[in-house]
């Protein structure tokens, strides 16, 4: 089977471990069959613990009381979880477990299927981050339906036009299949452009008739992740049912055609078989500045002059010409039967050129003969330039994030007698936390800091602060001199009242001591191995940049084998779960105490895993930065 599968007997010993499970975990079946005592959990969690297959064998009330994220249907359990210890940067896994029965119908064990859904979840996160941008741009489109869908065509976001038409809120629609929620059917509409984009990876547009008999102009664009994979689709649709019904009557009554077109919101005109203008509606008058009274009856491509400044065929003419040679000269042209659509940039239209979307289709008489063509034109310049601006902003933020990460040490300089580990996890693309190490002879300087504010301003101030602190650390031996000079320099360069809390300490391998000064930073936690009790390295001065000329105190603590020191920013203890409860210092201390027997990296991983479990998928609102030191 393609999914990774394992099975255990009633006493928890492995009886099946398939090739897909070998590939996922790196553990061979020959090494796993017959093993018990939760050994099958080690490849995922790094510890022995119950997994979903074990929960199948537990009483239902015990499972429901302890595992809130598990869903039960009869005896079958399913769950989606994030495991920080599995894979390079943690993984999202989907799992399903059910009982195994013997010939008498008694439960003889359990079987579990596991699927790595990390890419899908990352795609969902990437799409969800842009919700505010979508709200600002797309919710203002009153007559256009806009949907953001995941790779399985489930709704991630829809604009207010869709919500209003269905009488449902965004929360009601999230996670539902679009075709079920909107059309009430069990499969995508025939010719669905969103489905085509997900299948081909290419953009698709054109007309679509839905099962309810409505006709839509639709366009679908794929959303690609950094690796170029399709992670979703943006589907835009406009209901043109009424326009199509009106067009069927136009062939018999040209005057009625003119009356109908005149009230269309899009700029629209029609020509007859000789290329003479039949109608030129008000929206076209407003777009071009040319009045209908001056345009109706004119031929010889005069309708192209307001757009191109010259007489030349446009989309309405191509409907009548059906000349493949001519069509090749129009990049971006798409044909769906007799209907043509195009999106082009016209440098001669508008002050600085314009992006124009146009659609043209034939006009028929009562006998079904083509007697002309009609073209609708829409100026989409603002939308396209907004999209370009957003894409540039995202690209610039990605570059800024890479630059900021380059500020962090590539490796931790070794210092005898101490084991160290560090991490920085920004809440947004860029953040205001940082850590640094300054090596010396037999000593190692450590810095952890948190800049006030968020995002780009904080990142810029972080870069300034890091540079200033590092320069002073290389020129001063005493921590108080480092902080006092850094404070004065930062204060002089801070124009917006920004400041930075910072802890600076020096580990001495000869004296096995830490000499430190704390500039308004959350007090690091020091757990003594002799008693498992905690000490806090309290603040010895105000934050850098808050007050010029501030003074700082320097203190010393001696470290013995097994002592654990954790430097952190407030993104750790103030992390929140779905009930708006904070992670807190008490739980923080508890996990440090439980993992103190591990190496520094192991302790750090345990803390991060516990924070992830506590937050249970809630969005990260602040940067998380930690440095763990263990005396050995």
| Distance of alpha carbon 220 from the chain centroid | 19
> For residues 49 and 38, what is the distance between their CA atoms, to the nearest angstrom?
6
pLDDT of residue 398: 62
Residue 272 has pLDDT above 60, yes or no: yes
Confidence band of 258 (pLDDT split at 50, 70, 90)? low
Q: Contact at 8 Å (CB) between 81 and 66?
A: no
The pLDDT tens digits of the residues spanning 517-535 come to: 999 999 999 999 999 999 9
The pLDDT tens digits of the residues spanning 188-199 come to: 888 899 889 988
Name which residue leads in pLDDT, 64 or 31.
31
Answer whether 4-116 and 246-379 agree in fold.
yes
SS3 content of the chain, % helix, strand, coil (to 5): 35, 30, 35
What crossing angle do the helices spanning 381-407 and 455-475 adopt, rounded to 10°?
20
Q: Taking the CB of residue 119, how many other CB atoms lie within 10 A of it?
A: 15
Residue 136 has pLDDT above 70, yes or no: no
pLDDT of residue 208: 82
What is the end-to-end Cα distance of the chain in Å, rounded? Answer: 47
78 CB-near residues (< 8 Å, 6+ apart): 70, 71, 94, 95, 96, 97
Confidence band of 251 (pLDDT split at 50, 70, 90)? very low
Q: How far is CA 621 from CA 477, 618, 627, in A?
A: 36, 9, 20
Q: Contact at 8 Å (CB) between 525 and 566?
A: yes
Encoded tokens for 398: 């990605």
Of these ranges, 61-75, 396-410, 564-578, the one predicted with the greatest mean pLDDT is 564-578
Confidence band of 329 (pLDDT split at 50, 70, 90)? low
pLDDT of residue 619: 84
Short-list 330, 333, 272, CA closest to 299: 272
Of these ranges, 53-62, 221-230, 513-522, the one predicted with the greatest mean pLDDT is 513-522
Confidence band of 130 (pLDDT split at 50, 70, 90)? low
Q: Contact at 8 Å (CB) between 503 and 566?
A: no
The pLDDT tens digits of the residues spanning 305-314 come to: 999 889 988 8
Average pLDDT over residues 266-276: 91
* Domain layout of the chain by residue ranges: 4-116, 122-239, 246-379, 404-631
Of these ranges, 2-16, 176-190, 202-216, 464-478, the one predicted with the greatest mean pLDDT is 2-16
The pLDDT tens digits of the residues spanning 476-515 come to: 888 888 899 888 888 887 766 788 899 999 999 999 999 9
Edge-to-edge strand ranges of the sheet holding 513-519: 433-440, 443-451, 500-508, 513-519, 555-558
Superfamily of domain 4-116 in the CATH hierarchy: PAS domain (3.30.450.20)
Q: Contact at 8 Å (CB) between 114 and 94?
A: yes
pLDDT of residue 8: 94
The pLDDT tens digits of the residues spanning 353-408 come to: 889 889 999 988 878 888 899 999 998 888 888 877 777 666 555 655 565 566 67
pLDDT of residue 214: 85
Which CATH number describes the domain made up of 122-239?
3.30.450.20
Q: What is the DSSP letter of 417?
A: T
> For residues 49 and 606, what is the distance between their CA atoms, to the nearest angstrom?
14
> For residues 569 and 46, what is the distance between their CA atoms, to the nearest angstrom?
26
The pLDDT tens digits of the residues spanning 137-163 come to: 556 566 788 889 998 999 988 888 888
Short-list 138, 384, 124, CA closest to 232: 124
Superfamily of domain 404-631 in the CATH hierarchy: PPM-type phosphatase domain (3.60.40.10)
Q: Residues of the chain with pLDDT > 90: what percent? A: 42
pLDDT of residue 112: 94
Mean pLDDT over each residue of the chain, to the nearest integer: 86
Name the CATH topology of 246-379.
Beta-Lactamase (3.30.450)
Of these ranges, 51-60, 182-191, 557-566, the one predicted with the greatest mean pLDDT is 557-566
Residue 572 has pLDDT above 90, yes or no: yes
Q: Write the DSSP assignment of 147-192 as a string of letters.
A: EEE-TT-BEEEE-HHHHHHHT--HHHHTTSBHHHHHH--SSPPTT-
Size of the chain in residues: 632
Short-list 167, 119, 164, CA closest to 146: 164
Short-list 464, 470, 498, CA closest to 483: 470
167 CB-near residues (< 8 Å, 6+ apart): none
455 CB-near residues (< 8 Å, 6+ apart): 428, 429, 430, 431
Instruction: Decide: helix, strand or coil at residue 455.
Output: helix
Residue 338 has pLDDT above 60, yes or no: yes
Which burial class, exposed, middle or buried, applies to 118 when counting CB atoms under 10 A from its CB (0-12, 13-18, 19+)? Answer: middle
Strand partners, 420: 629
Encoded tokens for 308: 């191109």
């Amino acid at each position: 089977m393609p999914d990774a599968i394992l099975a255990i007997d009633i006493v928890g010993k492995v009886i099946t471990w398939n090739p897909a499970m070998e590939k996922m975990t790196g553990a061979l079946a020959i090494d796993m069959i017959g093993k018990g005592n939760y050994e099958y959990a080690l490849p995922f969690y790094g510890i022995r613990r119950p997994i979903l297959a074990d929960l199948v064998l537990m009483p239902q009330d015990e499972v429901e009381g302890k595992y809130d994220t598990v869903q039960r249907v009869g005896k079958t359990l399913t769950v989606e979880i994030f495991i920080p210890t599995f894979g390079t940067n943690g993984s999202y896994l989907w799992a399903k477990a059910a009982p195994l029965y013997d010939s008498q119908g008694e439960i003889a064990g359990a079987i579990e299927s596991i699927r790595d859904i990390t890419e899908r979840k990352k795609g969902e996160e990437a799409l969800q981050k842009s919700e505010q941008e979508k709200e600002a741009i797309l919710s203002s489109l009153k007559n256009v339906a806009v949907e953001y869908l995941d790779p399985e065509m489930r709704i991630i976001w829809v604009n207010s036009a869709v919500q209003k038409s269905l009488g449902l809120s965004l929360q009601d629609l999230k996670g539902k299949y679009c075709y079920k929620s909107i059309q009430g059917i069990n499969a995508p509409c025939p010719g669905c452009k969103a489905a085509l984009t997900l299948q081909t990876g290419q953009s698709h547009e054109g007309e679509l008739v839905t099962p309810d008999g409505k006709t839509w102009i639709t366009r679908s664009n794929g959303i690609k992740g950094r690796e170029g994979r399709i992670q979703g689709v943006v589907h835009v649709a406009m209901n043109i049912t009424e326009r199509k019904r009106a067009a069927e009557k136009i062939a018999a009554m040209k005057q009625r055609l003119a009356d109908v077109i005149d009230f269309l919101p899009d700029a629209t005109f029609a020509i007859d078989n000789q290329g003479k203008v039949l109608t030129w509606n008000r929206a076209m008058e407003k777009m071009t500045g040319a009045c209908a009274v001056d345009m109706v009856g004119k031929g010889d491509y005069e309708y192209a002059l307001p757009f191109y400044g010259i007489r030349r065929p446009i989309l309405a003419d191509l409907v009548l010409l059906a000349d493949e040679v001519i069509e090749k000269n129009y990049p971006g042209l798409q044909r769906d039967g007799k209907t043509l659509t195009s999106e082009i940039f016209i440098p001669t239209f508008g002050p600085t050129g314009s992006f124009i979307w146009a659609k043209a289709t034939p006009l028929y008489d009562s006998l079904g003969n083509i007697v002309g063509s009609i073209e609708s034109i829409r100026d989409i310049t603002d939308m396209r330039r907004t999209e370009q601006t957003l894409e540039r902003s995202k690209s610039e933020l990605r570059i800024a994030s890479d630059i900021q990460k380059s500020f962090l040490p590539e490796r931790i300089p070794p210092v005898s007698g101490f084991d160290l580990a560090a991490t920085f996890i920004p809440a947004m693309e860029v953040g205001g936390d940082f850590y640094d190490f300054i090596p010396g002879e037999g000593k190692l300087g450590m810095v952890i800091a948190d800049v006030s504010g968020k995002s780009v301003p904080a990142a810029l101030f972080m870069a300034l602060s890091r540079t200033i602190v590092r320069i002073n650390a290389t020129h001063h031996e005493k921590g108080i001199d480092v902080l006092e000079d850094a404070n004065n320099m930062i204060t002089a360069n801070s124009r917006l009242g920004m400041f930075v809390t910072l802890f600076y300490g020096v580990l001495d391998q000869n004296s096995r001591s830490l000499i430190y000064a704390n500039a308004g930073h959350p007090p690091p936690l020091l757990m003594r191995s002799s008693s498992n009790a905690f000490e806090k390295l309290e603040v010895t001065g105000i934050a850098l940049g808050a007050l010029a000329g501030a003074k700082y105190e320097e203190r010393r603590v001696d470290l013995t084998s097994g002592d654990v020191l954790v430097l952190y920013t407030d993104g750790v203890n103030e992390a929140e779960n779905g009930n708006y409860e904070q992670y807190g210092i008490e739980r923080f201390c508890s996990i440090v105490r439980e993992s103190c027997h591990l190496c520094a990296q192991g302790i750090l991983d345990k803390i991060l895993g516990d924070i992830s479990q506590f937050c249970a998928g809630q969005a990260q609102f602040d940067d998380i930065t930690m440095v763990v030191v263990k005396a050995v």
